[in-house]
Chains A and B, each alone.
Chain A
Amino acid sequence: MPADVPGNRPAMLTVPGERAVAEPIRVTNTLWRSTHETAYGGGLPPAITHLRELELANKRDDAPWSGALDIIPTKADHVLDLIRANSLWPLLSGLACCAIEMMSAAASVNDMDRFGMFPFRASPRQADVLIVAGTLTTKMAGPLVRLWEQMPEPKWCVALGDCTCSGGRYKRSYSTIEGIDRVLPVDVYIPGCPPRPEALIYGMMKLQQLILERRGHWAERRVGPSVPAGI
């Protein structure tokens, strides 16, 4: 008997009521699938994310301009990188104390809007950067990775604060994940407890540098953690 159920008797849990109890609407994942090979999940069962299929096909996802602009050499790619770097839209994923410093960095005194980062998008589909601010617990790890997977490419991840870099002061706890790089590929680590808003802005500027130099994880990105096993 699972420990969560304190000795209840299933017969006691019937719900008396006059109206019929409706079945919940369950929408399974197999509703519709595109067969185009570049569509998200196209042609393959949804268990495989699109990056897996790129790995299997041995393609690199650099997200360059495609089509006619393929023939224009790197200047266009550089412009694309500039566009991306100067308009990074973070996802609102403030978990704990560092979220306040993130908001403080976006507010008037330390302004992130001058870097183009003010619109904190609520939906992961519209965001570029996932700034994980605050302790990641085991219960929240699932939803957070789901958020990360919902973000469209190209995307970057910034670990804000000690708790996300390494577990921080809660490293010994039974319910904390020791650093989000165990579950997400992190590009920039910003230590501090909490880091000053200026530190966050410095970290974002480092991220802009990464983007312009095409470093970081997103080019050789794998789904999943970025530290080698055995750490």
Chain B
Amino acid sequence: MTQTYSKDDPTLLVDSPAALIDSIQPFPPRSEREAEFYAVRDGEMLINLGPQHPSTHGVLRVVLKIEGEKIIDLDPVLGYLHRGVEKLCENADYHQAICYTDPLEYISSLFMELAPVMAFEKLLDLEAPRRAQYIRVLTCELNRVASHALFMGWLALDLGGLTPLLYAFVERDEIVEMLAAQTGQRMLFNYFRIGGVNGDLNHDFMSRLGDWMSRALKQVEANQRLLNENEIFLKRTKGLGVVDRDTALRLGMTGPSLRASGVPYDVRRAHPYLVYPELAFDVPTREEGDTYARYLIRLDEIKQSIHMIDQCLHKMPDGPVMAKIPRLIRPRPGRAFAAIESPRGQYACYAISDGTDQPFRMHLHDPSFVNLQAMGVVLPGNLIADTMAIMASLDPIMGGVDK
């Protein structure tokens, strides 16, 4: 079959001259915004921050329109990691659908499983046992600490500092080995089930957790001291990429980026789920809305998470970790929406059931996808070097952006 359907077909590169590849400007323009963007005036230049670049956010392509070193406008191109998760979930069981959602935001994959599991439990009118809910909160907050530690490392890496990344990975490795002792996997855990969790806490996990908890706060403080008072870091992040309150709400931003702009919206407080009503924690909020504020908020959240893990360990009830549900799940027809607070913002799953054993429609609302739109609002006017700092502070994970 020699007919090719897409200019992105890789066989084109193999068999045909490179001149077939489009130049940056797509012609004819497909929308108003595209026409406005790709009309390059005198002194402006289009430069491609391609899908492969040293920043560790994954495969994001941004076409920058620059004038000298200053960015005038930008056009993000997504879809380089679009794996068709929603379509695959429609053709799979409810249990299989949870497996597909793991690799969306792969750093915080327990959150990615949690929202669909909660949506399916809503469809079934089922409530997980209390011990399972505590275990869910415990492991989720552990995952949040790991995710925020990585964020700190990547923000520093994008500004040129290699050392905090290594410290961040040491932190993450420790937490992730703990979770591997419990779930069997270092990353795409596949631990939550409809009706509970996969297995009760085992001795290996508890001993590692206790060991880590005894030095967690001090370790976090030490890691923070790497960057918090670093003059270069401060100069490069303070006052940069300010998103004010109204813009943030209009953009639909959620999570630490929204709280850094002064809106104290946290799904755990606003719309409590699992056992969060019983845990005492603060919702850190800052007013400045710049990169430094977004960084500091995540550091505060690490401390809050450690506090929450402590409370979970003290309050953990006994009991089963899995509700008794039939093997073949057929919820009655209906709709359910479940939203949780993932490390990047509000992650939600909207599930429609039509009475069969496959979800009729499963939509995953990803926070990185929506937060990344702030880039188009905030970046113009800054220098190219600030692009990476601002993108890193918005903390996108392209697996979630592209689904």
Contacts and interface: CB of A to CB of B under 8 A. Distances in A.
Closest 8 CB pairs of A and B: A107-B169, A97-B106, A47-B17, A173-B84, A122-B54, A141-B10, A140-B80, A13-B35
Nearest to B186: A196
Contacts of B329: none
B82 A137 contact: yes
Interface of A: 4-5, 8, 10, 12-15, 17, 19-22, 24, 26, 28-29, 45-47, 91-97, 99-101, 103-104, 107-110, 122, 134-135, 137-147, 149, 169-170, 172-177, 183, 193-194, 196, 223-224
A192 to B, nearest CB: 10
Contacts of A4: 30
A13 B328 CA distance: 53
Contacts of A45: 17
Contacts of A26: 23
Contacts of B85: 173
Interface in B42-66: 42, 44, 46, 50-54, 56, 58-59
Contacts of A174: 84, 87
B58 A137 contact: no
Given A108-B166, A145-B10, A29 B84 contact: no
Would you call the interface of chain A mostly helix, strand, loop, or mixed? loop
B96 to A, nearest CB: 9
B375 interface: no
B14 A145 contact: yes
Nearest to B17: A47
Interface in B142-177: 150, 165-166, 169-170, 172-173
A107 B52 contact: no
B24 interface: yes
B68 to A, nearest CB: 15
B8 interface: yes
Interface residues of B, number: 66
Would you call the interface of chain B mostly helix, strand, loop, or mixed? loop
B166 A172 contact: no
Given A143-B80, A194-B188, A8 B31 contact: yes
Contact of A145 (B7, B13, B40): B13
B10 A99 contact: no
B83 interface: yes
Nearest to B14: A224
27 contacts: A15-B36, A17-B39, A17-B41, A20-B42, A21-B39, A24-B24, A24-B40, A24-B46, A47-B18, A93-B52, A96-B106, A96-B399, A97-B187, A99-B56, A104-B186, A107-B173, A109-B169, A122-B53, A135-B103, A137-B82, A139-B80, A140-B80, A141-B9, A146-B21, A170-B88, A173-B83, A194-B186
A175 B173 contact: no
Given A97-B187, A139-B8, A174-B84, A104 B173 contact: yes
A226 to B, nearest CB: 12
Contacts of A24: 23-25, 40, 46
A194 to B, nearest CB: 5
A159 to B, nearest CB: 15
A180 to B, nearest CB: 10
Contacts of A145: 10, 13-14
Contact of B35 (A15, A138, A147): A15
A122 B7 CA distance: 25
B316 interface: no
Contacts of A122: 53-54
Contacts of B84: 170, 173-176
B183 to A, nearest CB: 13
A96 B103 contact: yes
B99 interface: yes
B317 interface: no
A194 B106 CA distance: 10
Contacts of A144: 10, 52
Given A173-B84, A173-B85, 19 more contacts: A8-B30, A10-B28, A13-B35, A99-B58, A100-B106, A137-B83, A139-B80, A140-B80, A142-B13, A143-B51, A169-B103, A170-B88, A174-B87, A175-B83, A175-B84, A183-B11, A193-B188, A194-B188, A223-B14
B239 interface: no
Contacts of B41: 17, 19-22
Contacts of A143: 50-52, 80
A175 B82 contact: yes
A56 to B, nearest CB: 15
Nearest to A19: B41
Interface in B68-106: 79-85, 87-88, 91, 99-100, 103, 106
Contacts of A28: 19
